[in-house]
Amino acid sequence: MSVTTIAALSALIGVLLQATEAANRIKLAAEEGRELTPQEFADLGDQLEATAQRLRAFLPPAGTG
């Protein structure tokens, strides 16, 4: 396989793993007889924000778009 193919597959696997990670955390909380904690929600929010920050680097500087 080419490097591009492997990188693309890695990205696809990443999507599935994130969904699985969230599902596993939900399952774990349910098995432990508790609700998801505010910290778990905050941690996911931080990961979402970090991804948004990296993506914003691709945006053109203000006023040049």
Partner 1 sequence: MIKMLRGMTWGEATAAGLLLAVIVLATATSCAVGYQRPLTVKEQTYQAGGVLLGLGQELEYAARAGLVKGETLNTLILAYDAAQQLYRKAANLAIGGTAAEAAKARSELLQTVDRLRRDLVAAGIKGASP
Applying CB under 8 A, the site for partner 1 has a residue count of 47
Rounded Cα distance between 54 and 49, Å, is: 9
Rounded Cα distance between 39 and 54, Å, is: 23
User: Which residue type, as a one-letter code, is found at position 36?
Assistant: L
Q: Does 38 bind partner 1 (CB under 8 A)?
A: yes
Per-residue binder mask for partner 1 (CB under 8 A), 6-25, x = binder:
-xxxxxxxxxxxxxxxxxxx
| Chain centroid to CA 63 | 30
Residues in touch with partner 1 (CB under 8 A): 1-2, 4-5, 7-27, 30-31, 35-36, 38, 40-42, 44-45, 47-49, 51-52, 54-56, 58-60, 65
